[in-house]
Amino acid sequence: MAKGLGMTDMAPLTRRMALVCTVWVTGILAGCSGGNDVPSLELEMINAGRTLIGSKIAARSAPPRPPLTRAALDTLEGSFLEVTLERRDQLAYLYINAQRRDGDPGKITVWRTDDDVTLAMRNGVLIATRGLGGDVISSQVQVSGTAPGPTSGGERVQYIRSLDNKERRLALACDLDDLGPETVVIVEQGHATRHLRETCTGGTADGSGDIGTVVNEYWVDSHNQLIWQSRQWAGPHIGYLWIRRLTN
């Protein structure tokens, strides 16, 4: 397991994260403790974590994750993401760690878990990961100004940290399609969006990293200048991340 993907003991939440568990769920659920804004939700998470850690129940027999509710989310301050690593069915909640601009279009936002897994996004488009193993070191993506999501097709370049600790360049040719308006519901709350689909093909220059077809999807809210939901490819080692914006 890559460092940062799971925790084997009970870890307290930071105050600013309130009731959000910032750990990846790998079948043995790490419990949370901290503030008491919504005691029932927190207690359910703590009890589930203690039960699973104590008995080492296999993932297939583990009880369902405690559901999030809008009432619980409304007590939180700040912005949070829910991210699922699809290949391993691992779940995490992330908060904003830093924001900055550089010489390229768009704003970079770094999202972080409490055990130092980070995702960096430029206008909501994934450009880097840390702490997952086989990380995306950096990416060149097609964004512009403050518009959320990719704004055009074209070349996308990713630099991947291979499992042999070498850096490999993946060059992808992408087409962007607007699939029209769509309402998405995230934890009891609907959002009006436009559904964008980015289809990419390509690989490494020497052919060793040809990846076939990659499909990234974004549900973009231009009015609020954010992406409520997306499914983004994080390289051949990590695979797809399913990302939902829980709070604005």
Asked whether residue 230 is domain-assigned, the answer is yes
Task: Kindly state whether residue 162 falls inside one of the protein's structural domains.
Answer: yes
> For the domain that residue 225 is a member of, what is the CATH number?
2.40.360.10
Of the ranges 34-48, 98-112, 152-166, the best mean pLDDT one: 98-112
Q: What is the SS3 assignment for 29-89?
A: CCCEECCCCCHHHHHHHHHHHHHHHHHCCCHHHCCCCCCCCHHHHCCCCCCEEEEEECCCC
What mean pLDDT, rounded, does the chain reach?
A: 79
Residue 201 forms part of a structural domain? yes
The answer to whether the predicted template modeling score (pTM) of the entire model surpasses 0.85 is no
The pLDDT score that the predictor gives to residue 151 is: 92
> How many structural domains does the chain have?
1
- Rounded distance between C-alpha atoms, residue 45 and residue 15, angstroms: 17
**Domain residues for 142?**
96-238
Q: How far apart are alpha carbons 134 and 166 in whole angstroms?
A: 10
Q: What pLDDT score was predicted for residue 1?
A: 32
Looking at residue 43, what is its pLDDT? 46
Cα–Cα distance, 204 to 194 (Å, whole number): 32
In a domain, 101, yes or no: yes
Residue ranges of the alpha helices (H) in the chain? 39-55, 70-73, 235-238
Let me know if residue 147 belongs to a domain: yes
Tokens 């519901």 found at: 185
Give domain status of residue 91, yes or no.
Answer: no
Max mean pLDDT range (26-30, 37-41, 161-165)? 161-165
Within a domain: 78: no
Q: Is 130 a domain residue?
A: yes
Is residue 119 within 8 A of residue 108, CB to CB? The reply is no
Tens digit of pLDDT for each residue in 36-72? 344 444 444 444 444 433 433 444 555 666 788 999 9
pLDDT of residue 68: 86
